[in-house]
Structure 1
Amino acid sequence: MAQAKLTRSPQGDCNGDEQGEQKLRLLSGHTMPAVGLGTWRSSSQATNSVFTAIVEAGYRHVDTAWEYGIQEEVGDGIKAAMHAGVEREDLFITSKLWCTELSPQRVRQALMNTLRELQLDYLDLCLIHWPFRLEDGSSKPPKAGEVSDFDMEGVWREMEKLVKDKLVRDIGVCNFTQKKLNKLLYIAQTIPSVCQMEMHPGWRNDKMLELCKKNGIIVTELNKSPGQVLVRWAIQRGTSVIPKSANPERIKENMDVFGWEIPKEDFEALCSIPDQKRISEGENMFVNKTDGPFKSIADLWDHED
């Protein structure tokens, strides 16, 4: 399979890539901007943040999800940016299927609801948010019996149909373990274009990164640490990155990561920080130490290193 390639877009005005932004070529042949704006639960400022990121800072990739509860506000920001002159085809919009929707009969309607909220005709990328199914109305964190394995093949077939019907351009996954990704690769007719997961110098997730590279899957790092150095660190690893901020100056700063590199010795130092046990949004959302199906972070991640 083809390996990920980095391409550089030409300079341009607000309708293009203002800072010569790098793009990652997906297995489908489409390209994805290497830096995207994360919109995780920043509801009160989501519209302004999205508009600022696209129009003033030059972002062309916006990452959101139904579970964040802000897709309508994100859609308003995208619409305002388009009214300001940014073309839809220059944008790359990502959203995710939440765990309650991971049954074959619910996939298409969930996607249509997302498109309605975002005021779009299609998504550039649709991801499975977490690799298990939650019952409607389940607790947070869920109790035993409220979580089950999902019909991976059935759900993926429905997502493949969304691509065929041109409602989605690319499909992928989030928060998959090596075990679950290998299972998906075995049954998939369309290989996932992207695998989005938590990564930073304290949790590099090297084995998962290598598995994705081997199969030509682009890795997107959810980089929770602030600063241009850590955004640049992700770029130099050959991944895309989704920094989150509602601060206009920080949004602009996070995009100013092209045209320079972290020196080799400093990059290697960041890569040699001892790995720590993964702490992610999943801990608060899914780990129930008393009567849950996941009683620890290790349970949630299939006890993989």
Structure 2
Amino acid sequence: MHRVTFVPANDKMEYFKLMSNHTIPSVGLGTWKSGSQARYSVESAIVEAGYRHIDTAWAYDVEKEVGDGIKAAIHAGVERTDLFVTSKLWCTDLTPERVRPAFENTLKKLQLDYLDLYLIHWPFRLKEGASMPPKAGDVLEFDMKGVWREMERLAADGLVRDIGISNFSVAKLTKLLSFALVKPSVCQMEMHPGWRNEKMLNACKEHGIHATAYSPLGSGGKIDLLNDPVVVKVAKKLEKTPAQILVRWALQRGTSVIPKSSNPDRIKENIQVFGWEIPEEDFDSLSIFKQQKRIMDGENLFVNETDGPFKSVEELWDYEDIPPLKIAP
């Protein structure tokens, strides 16, 4: 069986233990593209649905709204120490002298005294005003070592409990580990049955780095997993929703997961994944989908086929065994 040992907390949540000995709630709320609804989604998720893990980023432009939602939840009686809040350092701030000011700006917007996790959002430094996708000259030299040292200082100063990375290739992770005094506790990446991202997941496991899966229900609608016949069949068999099957599949792989939604009913649905398992034969049937590579919207931010520094998805991801994208007619 594909079983994972969780750190027990209560009957409504399962936790993973990080190498720092801190714990991360296994299911969190993603806030990408949540807009003005972020404040209410966050409050509802925490107070009504029992979420304790909230994921956001400077680039989502909702940190103030997320902070308002967290503040409302705390006012309703939830302890800050029971929450796990993640944000991310954007590409224009990937230079040592900008790390701390960017972090402090995020902390101010979130109205918090500390973060539980701070990630490098993408491992590419952009100049101010860069077009998206970037043109030639928009991507600058990334002093990864210098930036990571500043991330380590944030942790040493008690401003963030754990530091980590997002959207790294194995090659970039290997480079980071060659000089890191503090290993990244978490690596966040796109993962779902349509893109299992096994090479990166295995690299994380090898180094004791916990993986968090984003876009667990598919890539912004480009992979329609919620209506996939295999997913629907397993959902009917177990009397669950397709979304619950996809979230549970991620948990049984040993990853935490951050499905995003602004719909209160779906927010509640997505966390009702504890106290049951996907049987091995069904888990296996969800783990053999044809891989369609990473095709989430974020790549459209960077791939510029005409005059960009990254002219293909393969180049963006360091040519790491990515199956070619096939677009249906």
Once the two structures are superposed, the pairs formed by residues 195-214 of structure 1 within 5 Å of their partners are: 195-214=187-206
Quote the residue 2:252 is aligned against. Answer: 236
- Give 1:71's match in structure 2, choosing from 63, 70, 82: 63
AA aligned opposite 1:221: A
Quote the residue 1:136 is aligned against. Answer: 128
- Give 1:152's match in structure 2, choosing from 144, 158, 178: 144
AA aligned opposite 2:318: D
**Cα-Cα RMSD:** 1.0
AA aligned opposite 2:285: A
Contact persistence 1:5–1:25 (CA under 8 A): no
Quote the residue 1:29 is aligned against. Answer: 21
AA aligned opposite 1:185: L
Q: Cα deviations across residues 160-179 of structure 1 (Å, max 9, x unaligned)?
A: 00001100000000000000
- Give 1:245's match in structure 2, choosing from 239, 261, 268: 261
- Give 1:51's match in structure 2, choosing from 43, 56, 81: 43
Q: Secondary structure at the match of 2:201?
A: helix
Contact persistence 2:32–2:56 (CA under 8 A): yes
Quote the residue 2:307 is aligned against. Answer: 291
- Give 1:260's match in structure 2, choosing from 252, 260, 276: 276
* Count of aligned positions: 294
Contact persistence 2:187–2:209 (CA under 8 A): yes
Quote the residue 1:175 is aligned against. Answer: 167
Query: Which stretches in structure 2 are left out of the alignment for 5+ residues?
Result: 219-225, 227-242, 322-329
Contact persistence 1:6–1:25 (CA under 8 A): yes
Q: Cα deviations across residues 179-235 of structure 1 (Å, max 9, x unaligned)?
A: 000110110000000000001101101111111001110000011435110000000
* 1:6 pairs with 2:22: no
The Cα of 1:9 is off from its aligned counterpart by 1.0
Quote the residue 1:61 is aligned against. Answer: 53
Partners of 2:29 and 2:286 in 1: CA distance: 23
The Cα of 1:10 is off from its aligned counterpart by 2.5
Partners of 2:82 and 2:199 in 1: CA distance: 33
The Cα of 1:296 is off from its aligned counterpart by 1.2
- Give 1:97's match in structure 2, choosing from 89, 93, 97: 89
* 1:220 pairs with 2:201: no
Q: Cα deviations across residues 222-278 of structure 1 (Å, max 9, x unaligned)?
A: 114351100000000000001000000000000000101111111001101121122
Q: Secondary structure at the match of 1:195?
A: strand
Q: Secondary structure at the match of 2:203?
A: helix
AA aligned opposite 2:25: P
Partners of 1:241 and 1:148 in 2: CA distance: 32
Q: Cα deviations across residues 63-116 of structure 1 (Å, max 9, x unaligned)?
A: 000000010000000000000000000000000000000000000000000000
The Cα of 1:5 is off from its aligned counterpart by 5.4
Q: Secondary structure at the match of 1:48?
A: helix
* 1:189 pairs with 2:186: no
Partners of 2:177 and 2:292 in 1: CA distance: 28
Contact persistence 2:136–2:309 (CA under 8 A): yes
AA aligned opposite 1:92: F
Q: Percent identity?
A: 66
